[in-house]
Structure 1
Amino acid sequence: MTTVTADIPAALRYEELDGKFLYRKGYHDVLTGAKTIKEIIGSSSLQALLVSMIYGELSKLLQEKYITFISEPGLHLAHNSNVANDIAIFQLSQIERFTKKYFSTPPEYVVEVDVKIDIDLTDYSNPEDYIFHKTQTMLDFGVGTVIWVTTEGPRKILIAKAGQDWRVTTWESVVEFAPDCHFSLQELLQRRGVIDLL
């Protein structure tokens, strides 16, 4: 760790897992004045594209009993463990009330695109350690399926279902998000005419 975390503004926190704050990628640029907080909070255009494409497809394919959330819906997993998701999908019957607090009920499905924290300021030795830890923590909380899409390095998809072996596949593979809801990310991007823009 290269920076004393007590000196980092709370606005640069992305999540808290097991009582440890995880800071947004680019936090150091904000501390040195090279960027503003607003410049590092948003998603890249590629991340925004993937979240939008997946959200649109899931909203179309999933039955009416589900409700799909984007815009970093927060999950309160336990005391001092609060995480953000790119997409969280709940059965409508699971939600008792909408409040100004994070969801405290586990969603049926979570979709994440890339790692948005600065790994250098954590105890994780690499991004995969963070992905695996956050995924297992959400599954332990009661999330049914966690799906990670990565854009940095090999374009892969991790599918982690509660009580099953995890699977890593490619963007070209057909991924089952829910019963009767499956598609290939590569084919979806081709169908929307954006694959050549990547």
Structure 2
Amino acid sequence: MRRLIDFLLLALPLATIVSAQEATDPHLKPEEIALAEQNLKRVLAGPGEEAFLQIFIKASIVPDPAIDTSFVYDLVLRFDPERYHSPRVGLYPLNFEDQFILWGKRIAVYTSSTSWQSGRFYLHDISSGQQAWIYTDDARRLYIPEPQKLPPAKGQNAAIFSQWLKIIHAIKPGTDLRTMSRWLRLMHHQSRKAVLKENGS
């Protein structure tokens, strides 16, 4: 019995370390990535946002090897404004830069809600070929939600994420000229493939 107690006492610190590592493991499991991508789509195109639902193609969350770590993830969005159709409006009303800033503000809030670290937000218009990206850190500095009590960021469940969605979908589409110029300065007109090649990835 004495030996058993000694063994358990020795094993306890190791078990504690392993448990702590698992709790703070920055890697996302495949099922966690799938859920994050589903949530990202809901962030960018809400159930009542018919125009966004029409132009949305795909949202991906992928490791960013350009930052030399697998712990950082890029958010990659593809859309096609030519899929938009409305008998009242005609052509899709937002240009690429306006779409980038609008969704960039949503990305700023969404990445504040996640427990995993994000690197870049990429936007790709597959109809025109335009591509651009911004560091999510820069997006969060450019857009800070109006003062209010934000929901918990980590360990969120469906109910908490719904609270984040309400805040995200309440973001006003308009941007003042000064802030818009700051977005445009930090916006890189470059594809993800070019970024990875530039960084030797």
TM-score normalised to structure 2 length: 0.30
Look at both structures and tell me which one has the larger radius of gyration over its CA atoms: 2
Higher share of residues assigned helix: 2
Larger RCO of the pair (alpha carbons < 8 Å, separation 6+): 2
